Structure 1
Amino acid sequence: MINKGLDALPDILTVMELKEYLGIGREQAYTLVKTEDFPVKKIGRRIIIFKPNLVRWLESNTAS
């Protein structure tokens, strides 16, 4: 369940912020970001998600 609006999110999210936004568990969040089509950027060991890429992914991967 999405528990807060997109406007409240930072432009660059961490996996933990993604987890909170989507209302999923830690393991589910890491499984999601490891899927081939999920838009992440790795900087060293850090995983980040750009908000516009997340929005596009959600739009194309959720039922209308």
Structure 2
Amino acid sequence: MEVTHKENATVVLSVADIQRMMGIGRRQAYELMHSGQFHVVRVGQRILVSEAVFLNWLNQPVS
């Protein structure tokens, strides 16, 4: 996935983006988005998460 960043632009990730980034199946990507681990928004039927929020969650140390 190649993302072009514009200054002050918010990049959002879809379920398909999460699926590709994590190398997981569609069902697992939906489960992750519904897990409550990070803030997501619904736009119509799409579920989106800010790239910064997702990467922050992903890079958290395991406790």
Does TM-score exceed 0.5, indicating one fold?
A: yes
Q: What stretches of structure 1 move > 3 A for 4+ residues in a row? A: none
Gaps of 5+ in 2: 5-10
Matched letter for residue 37 of structure 1: Q
What is the match of residue 32 of structure 2?
32
Question: For the Cα contact (< 8 Å) 1:32–1:38, is it kept in 2?
Answer: no
Question: For the Cα contact (< 8 Å) 1:39–1:57, is it kept in 2?
Answer: no
What is the match of residue 17 of structure 1?
17
Q: TM-score, normalised by structure 2?
A: 0.72
Q: Structure 1 or 2: larger helix share?
A: 1
Q: Please tell me whether Structure 1 or Structure 2 has the larger radius of gyration of its CA atoms.
A: 2
- Alpha-carbon separation, structure 1, partners of 2:29 and 2:3: 16
Q: TM-score, normalised by structure 1?
A: 0.71
Q: How far 1:26 sits from its partner (Å)?
A: 0.5
Gaps of 5+ in 1: none
Q: How far 1:41 sits from its partner (Å)?
A: 1.2
The alignment covers a number of residue pairs equal to: 56
- Alpha-carbon separation, structure 2, partners of 1:28 and 1:36: 14
Q: How far 1:9 sits from its partner (Å)?
A: 4.0
- Alpha-carbon separation, structure 2, partners of 1:40 and 1:34: 8
CA RMSD of aligned residues (A): 1.9
**% identical equivalent positions:** 30
